[in-house]
Amino acid sequence: QVQLVESGGGLVQSGGSLRLSCAASRTSFSIGTMAWYHQAPGKQRALVASITSSGTTTYADSVKGRFTISRNNARYTVSLQMNSLEPEDTGIYYCNAYMRSSYIWGQGTQVTVSS
């Protein structure tokens, strides 16, 4: 079974940057849209950014101009470059991938932005 493993979370001051990465375990099947979700403390998980296999991207309004999503299809990876971080960006970030008619989730990585 394919697994997604996130890395790159941590503690950063407001205005700082972090880069999250997500790697899918080796698979012989193609991966469709990949995405990053954010779950703030006490809130529901929400879409931050997505990218199709052809590279089309979408972003939540709150991160436009600050976050950039990218992927490497040959390496089965997706990344999220986060700049100008704000305390409101604090929470757990989950990687998501659509494959074989199912959505697969990573275990999440914690991001904490101090003011």
How many CA atoms within 13 Å lie on the side-chain side of 48? Answer: 29
* Mean of the per-residue pLDDT values of the chain: 95
- Whether residue 33 is predicted with pLDDT greater than 80 in this model: the reply is yes
Report the alpha-carbon distance of residue 63 to residue 48 in Å, rounded: 7
What is the pLDDT, as a whole number, of residue 1?
79
Cα of 21 vs its chain's centroid, Å: 7
Structure tokens of 77?
A: 């990876």
Q: How much of the chain, in percent, has pLDDT values that exceed 90? A: 88
Report the alpha-carbon distance of residue 25 to residue 40 in Å, rounded: 27
pLDDT in tens, 37-57: 999 999 999 999 999 999 999
